[in-house]
Amino acid sequence: MATGQSLAPFLRLGDSRLYCGTCSWTDPTLVKETDWYPRRSMSAAERLAFYASVFPVVEADSTYYWPPGPELARSWVERTPEGFRLDVKCWSLLTHHPTRTESVWEDLRRELAPEARDKPRVYAHHLEPDALEEAWARFTTALAPLQRSGRLGAVLVQYPPWFTPKRANRDELARLPERLDGLPASVEFRSPRWLSPEERERTTALLSELGLTLVAVDAPPASGLTPVVAVTNPRLAVARFHGRADDTWSGRSRTAAERFRYLYGEEELSSWVPRARQLADAEEVHLLMNNCYRDYGVRNAADLGRLLVEAGARPEPAG
């Protein structure tokens, strides 16, 4: 249970709280191929409790592949101390990604278009509008235990490269606050066009108007993505680090850990210290390593935290 557990400190920079962590705590390459966890025989509850004693924030990415239930969210609350932050990646069906048909609730599976029911993967447009809205409602309802406990950092809504800046997609963004029923949300674009010089101001203004957090990304040059540091929500800023390996960015047959297999050097992470200062205009900043191959992510999260302390950030007990 969470009571009595220790919690890693956050970093104070001015009036802002900076939380360094990773985008997964359960990747098999971390659990089975490294000695970062004290014992490989640790239970899921023990691993999350240990993680929370080292880092004060984590992102749950399993929810991208399978929608969570309230019991999963309750278990995360029980396994973490008060003050811990947990960002939750939005289910793929709700963000225009191909989605495993078997991950769709059985009753909603019957609502799929006939031509899609036997396919291994489906898209949101294969559901009738009412069924899609029901899927959104079930997703947000499942996160209620995290929200009530104060542990929910944000729902990460990551859109694919084909989700480009056009009217229909801006309308989709405008519906997010209602669909998420007021849950805090961060938005990551994988299409470089949203933050191109021609679109950047319009995009950041829209997110600010909607109260959505723009995710600043560090990604390989092959992605076409560049870090845009803009605080669009005064309560929360988020940066996610995907490594800089061009050769694995577009690989389709690789696991997520192999795709983001990259260990940042100190000079690369140092370039984010001034950017973190800019993001610190928000009350809270989440700096999340997505290079979760073996212990790369946890090493780099610790490295970035150390660099921030050396630059003047102060560790303070979370809670």
- Indicate whether 2 pLDDT > 50: no
Residue 101, judged by CB atoms within 10 A of its CB (0-12, 13-18, 19+), counts as middle
Res. 318 pLDDT band, cuts 50 70 90: low
How many other C-beta atoms lie within 10 A of the C-beta of residue 151? 23
pLDDT at residue 301, rounded to an integer: 98
pLDDT tier, 3 (very low <50, low <70, confident <90, very high otherwise): very low
Each residue of 103-150: pLDDT tens digit?
999 999 999 999 999 999 999 999 999 999 999 999 999 999 999 999
Identify whether 305 is part of a domain: yes
Encoding tokens for residue 71? 């019991």
Q: Looking at the domain assignment, is residue 51 inside a domain? A: yes
Express each pLDDT in 60-81 by its tens digit: 999 999 999 999 999 999 999 9
* Segment 70-93 mean pLDDT: 96
Q: What is the CA radius of gyration of the chain?
A: 19
- Give the mean pLDDT of the chain: 94
d(CA 222, CA 22): 22
Which residue range is the domain that position 235 belongs to? 10-316
Tracing tokens 């297999």 back to the chain, one arrives at: 261
For 237-259, the DSSP string reads EEEEE----HHHHT-SSS-HHHH
CA distances from 75 to 15, 48, 180 (A): 32, 10, 21
CATH number at 109 reads 3.20.20.410
Angular region, 137: left φ>0, alpha ψ -120 to 50, beta rest? alpha
Give residues with Cβ within 8 angstroms of 5, minimum separation 6: 49, 52, 53, 80, 81
pLDDT at 1: 42
Contact 143, 152 (CB under 8 A): yes
Write the pLDDT tens digit of every residue in 237-275: 999 999 999 888 876 646 777 888 999 999 999 999 999
In angstroms, rounded to a whole number, what is the distance separating the alpha carbons of residues 25 and 27? 6
CB 95 within 8 A of CB 160: yes
Whether 209 is covered by a domain: the verdict is yes
**Number of independent structural domains in the chain:** 1
Q: Which position has the higher pLDDT, 318 or 88?
A: 88
Provide the residue type at 255 as one letter.
T
| Per-residue pLDDT, 258 | 84
Mean pLDDT in residue range 271-287:
98
In this prediction, residues 223-242 reach a mean pLDDT of: 97
Length of the chain: 319
Cα–chain center distance at 190: 13
Close Cβ partners of 304 (under 8 Å, ≥ 6 residues apart):
20, 269, 272, 287, 289
For residue 6, what pLDDT is reported? Answer: 80
In a domain, 1, yes or no: no
Output the pLDDT for position 259: 85
What whole-number distance in Å separates Cα of residue 18 and Cα of residue 293?
23
| Assigned domain for 243 exists | yes
- The token pair that represents 15 in the structure block: 């009036």
Percentage of the residues of the chain whose pLDDT score is greater than 90: 90
Question: Smallest Cα–Cα separation from 287: which of 268, 308, 266, 267?
Answer: 308
* DSSP single-letter state for residue 221: G
Lowest mean pLDDT among 82-86, 229-233, 256-260: 256-260
Please choose, from the candidates 215, 145, 206, the residue with its C-alpha nearest in 3D space to the C-alpha of residue 175: 206
Upper half-sphere CA count for residue 292 (Cβ side, 13 Å): 23
**How far lies 214's CA from each of 9, 54, 288, 305, in Å?**
25, 26, 14, 21
Domain membership of residue 3 (yes or no) is no
> 4 in a domain, yes or no?
no
Residue 20 has pLDDT above 80, yes or no: yes
What's the confidence (pLDDT) of residue 252?
Answer: 65
Residue 2 covered by a domain: no
